[in-house]
Chains A and B, each alone.
Chain A
Amino acid sequence: MSNSTSPLGYRFPGGRYTIADWENWLLTDCTTAQTLPENLAHPVSLFHVPILGAGTSIAELFEICGAEGPGSVGLDSYDWEYMHPLRVGVEYRMEGGIVRWENLVDERDQPYDSMSFSIEMFDGSALVARITNTWRFRRKKVVSA
């Protein structure tokens, strides 16, 4: 069904990330809200901070999963847990990898690969947050002769 190789089990290099004040200001503005008090980062930072902090990127994830151009990638779901609020200026450590990969067919009989990656985010040894995101990589239907 799919012409991509399964990336299940792929581990991100891991690394660290500190949310900058300007970055949080711009991101919060994009959400149409005002910045939060007491150096709190907007909770939606939990999309890009774990990805970049784990040493990967959206571009690399697209490449690993064989994205095929505009319209080929879709979001399915996010599961985000906050053990502590995120804060600007704190250096977080991230680790994670690709935890699920399935070849599936949608309701219009179009093949796609469903990929989930999970990343944990730490402040020192304390778990601050955990994400599991599921993306869809649509594939061209192979027609047999």
Chain B
Amino acid sequence: MSRIINVGDQLPEFVVPSVDPARMKTMAAILRDPYRVHWDREATREMGLDGRVINQGPLNLSYIVNMLHAFAGPTSIRRLTVSFGRPVFDGDLVVAGGEVTDVQDSILVCGVWLKRGDEIVVSGTAVVDVAALASVSS
């Protein structure tokens, strides 16, 4: 496959229609994460959050990773630098997106984000190697 990539190109979005609390429970077990806000609605009620559980940061980041994989392949990611701005709750619809900000040979630097509506909940930078995609230009 060959593709011309330019600064300013938008990456195809990855959509999670509804963040699933059952997946948070499984993730908590895998991570050995004792933080109740991910699986116990009573914990978030105590915080005044209406009993909605909070998605794990790694899961929020994973949607950005899945977006990058769909664009550049499963071994493409070289670096992820992200900040977590707002919590994501069960039932939220979130969309991962990105934009190419620099191209050096086969290495792309991309601004990446996770949005809930117009609100950015995770933002940062990804460095990806698109050598497998062949043609790259700046």
Binding site for B on A (CB under 8 A): 23, 26-27, 29-33, 36-37, 40, 42-44, 47-48, 52, 57-59, 62, 70-71, 73-82, 85
Contact = CB atoms under 8 A, between A and B. Distances in A.
Ranked nearest first, the 10 interchain pairs of A and B with the lowest CB-CB distance are A31-B62, A47-B58, A70-B43, A71-B47, A75-B84, A75-B57, A44-B62, A30-B23, A48-B31, A36-B74
Contacts of A37: 74
B32 interface: yes
Contact of B82 (A23, A29, A30, A77): A77
Given A44-B58, A77-B84, A57 B32 contact: yes
A48 B58 CA distance: 9
Contact of B26 (A26, A33, A36, A75): A26
B65 A42 contact: yes
Contacts of B33: 58
B4 interface: no
Contact of A30 (B32, B62, B74, B78): B62
B59 A44 contact: yes
A33 B64 CA distance: 11
B16 interface: yes
Contact of A73 (B24, B35, B65, B69): B35
Contact of B74 (A31, A40, A70, A78): A40
A78 B46 contact: no
Given A32-B20, A62-B34, 4 more contacts: A23-B30, A58-B31, A71-B37, A75-B57
B61 interface: yes
B30 A70 contact: no
Residue among B26, B43, B57 with max Cβ neighbours from chain A (10 Å): B57
A36 B16 CA distance: 19
A74 B57 CA distance: 9
